[in-house]
Chains A and B, each alone.
Chain A
Amino acid sequence: KNEVEQSPQNLTAQEGEFITINCSYSVGISALHWLQQHPGGGIVSLFMLSSGKKKHGRLIATINIQEKHSSLHITASHPRDSAVYICAVRPPNFGNEKLTFGTGTRLTIIP
Chain B
Amino acid sequence: AAGVIQSPRHLIKEKRETATLKCYPIPRHDTVYWYQQGPGQDPQFLISFYEKMQSDKGSIPDRFSAQQFSDYHSELNMSSLELGDSALYFCASSRGQLTGELFFGEGSRLTVL
Contacts and interface: CB of A to CB of B under 8 A. Distances in A.
Given A30-B98, A41-B88, A97 B56 contact: yes
Given A30-B99, A104-B42, A97 B48 contact: yes
B67 to A, nearest CB: 16
B25 interface: no
Most A C-beta atoms less than 10 A away, residue of B101, B104, B105: B104
What secondary structure prevails in chain A residues at the interface with B?
loop
B73 to A, nearest CB: 18
B102 A48 contact: yes
Contact of A98 (B56, B99, B104): B56
Given A41-B88, A95-B55, A90 B43 contact: no
What secondary structure prevails in chain B residues at the interface with A?
strand
Interface in A18-57: 30-31, 33, 35, 40-45, 48
In this complex, the interface size class of chain A, counting residues with CB under 8 Å from chain B, is 20 to 34
B109 interface: yes
Given A30-B99, A43-B90, A45-B103, A97 B55 contact: yes
Contact of A44 (B35, B104, B109): B104
Given A30-B99, A45-B102, A97 B45 contact: yes
Contacts of A35: 104
Contacts of B56: 95-98
Interface of A: 30-31, 33, 35, 40-45, 48, 86, 88, 90, 92, 94-99, 101-104
